Amino acid sequence: MTEPVIRVQQLEKRFHIRSGSLGKKGVVHAVNGVSLEIGKGETLGLVGESGCGKSTLGRTILKVYEPDAGRIFCDGTDITGFSHRQMRPWRKKMQMIFQDPYASLNPRFTVGELIAEPMKIYESCSPQEQTERVQELLRTVGLKPDHIRRYPHEFSGGQRQRIGIARALALEPEFIVCDEPISALDVSIQAQIVGLLERIQDEKELSYLFIAHDLTMVRHISHRIGVMYMGALVEIGPADEVCQHPLHPYTRLLMSAVPVPDPVRARQQKRILPEGEVPSPIDLPPGCPFSPRCPYATEQCRCAVPPLRETGGRQVACFL
């Protein structure tokens, strides 16, 4: 097998929190020992409930946050300990698309300046080339080249997201973290943006880490899906497999929450309702993080953390 574009081993990210300047200290395990690989041209979907560490994982891989433990490999090179300066050549390979198309574009910059900024930072081409390149990128993402002098506030949410995509593409990366790129958009626009992302992937052989809430959309775009719970991967495998035959109890719970577009079938489908409370990420329970809510939990689950095990082409973190 060829070297994956991104390989992450036992990544951990903790946040130290404090209530007030003299308050109690606490540690949030936002990402807790995650290992994954993303191959060339592959999309890994990442799902999980709010606050389970999906975005933190994405940002830690891009070194927006310094990881507390574990290793990150990009094209086989260990970039874990690299400083911001050392990261520069690698930043060209890894880019990010953001959730909020309103907050992710500097409102004082014109579209041209926004998209040309990465090129300016790396001084990769002359000003004329920059303009040409920006116009070409605008065309790629379905905007008009003469939008170059406009400001972000003149665009709609979907158009702004296209600008964000154009900026991410400006450095011709190999890997893009899509941090819920569609959850702030209307449904009709979501389809357009996903279509755009797929088209660009085919053209440039990009790899995506696609973070989202919308399970049907994730299934549609991803080759493989990873399910996260409380900072850890509980199941990872081919998209259709994970969606049709979820193995981990938490994945089953998630999949049963997907709305079915057919009311007759929807009535027949049984919804698994979670029991108990979501544990606080500050003091994780010992054992499997899902055990307090899991209907099948045994004594073993409450004592030890189940490791990811290989089962029929995918990995599941469950003793059962």
Partner 1 sequence: MLKPEEYFAPLPPEDRDTEFIAVETRSFGRNVWDSFSKNRLALLGLVCLALIVLTALIGPLLTPYPYDGMDALARNQGSSAAHLFGTDQMGRDIFTRVLYGTRVSLMVGFASTALNLVIGVLYGGIAGYVGGRTDMIMMRIVDVIYAVPAMIYMILLMLIFGSNVYSVMLGICINGWVNMARIVRSQVMSLKEQEFAVAAFVIGADRRRILFRHLLLNCLGPVIVTVTLMIPQAIFTEAFLSFIGIGISAPMASLGTLAQDAKMLMNVYPMQMVWPVLMICIVIFSLNFIAEGLETALDPRGRRP
Positions that interact with partner 1 (CB under 8 A): 59, 62, 64, 84-85, 87-88, 91-92, 94-96, 98-100, 103-108, 117-118, 121-122, 142-144, 147, 149-151, 153-156, 158-159, 164, 167, 170-171
Q: Report how far apart, in Å, the C-alpha atoms of 243 and of each of 58, 84, 235, 250, 313 are.
A: 22, 38, 11, 12, 14
Q: Nearest approach, Cβ of 172 to partner 1 (angstroms)? A: 12
Closest contact distance (angstroms) between CB of 314 and partner 1 is 30
First to last CA, the chain: 30
Contact 157, 181 (CB under 8 A): no
User: Cβ closer to partner 1: 143 or 227?
Assistant: 143
DSSP class of residue 146 equals G
Q: What is the DSSP letter of 272?
A: P
- Long-range contacts of residues 102-109, Cβ cutoff 8 Å, at least 24 apart: 102/152, 102/157, 102/160, 102/184, 104/160, 104/164, 105/152, 105/160, 105/163, 105/164, 106/152, 107/151, 107/152, 107/153, 109/151, 109/152
Residue 87 or residue 278: which is nearer to partner 1 going by CB?
Answer: 87
Closer to partner 1 at the Cβ: 28 or 253? 28
Q: What angle do CA 186, 198, 195 make, to 5 degrees?
A: 35
Least separation in angstroms between CB 69 and partner 1: 22
Contact at 8 Å (CB) between 165 and 139?
A: no
3-state secondary structure (DSSP) of residue 170: coil
The CB-of-103 to partner 1 minimum distance in angstroms stands at 4
Closest CB 88 distance from partner 1, rounded Å: 5
Q: Find the shortest distance in angstroms from Cβ 121 to partner 1.
A: 5
Q: How far is the CB of 254 from partner 1 (least distance, A)?
A: 26
Using the structure block, give the residue that is written with the tokens 């890894």: 94
Cβ proximity to partner 1, 61 vs 301, nearer residue: 61
Toward partner 1, which CB reaches closer, 62 or 301?
Answer: 62
Closest CB to partner 1 among residues 118, 237:
118
Q: Which CB, 88 or 245, lies closer to partner 1?
A: 88
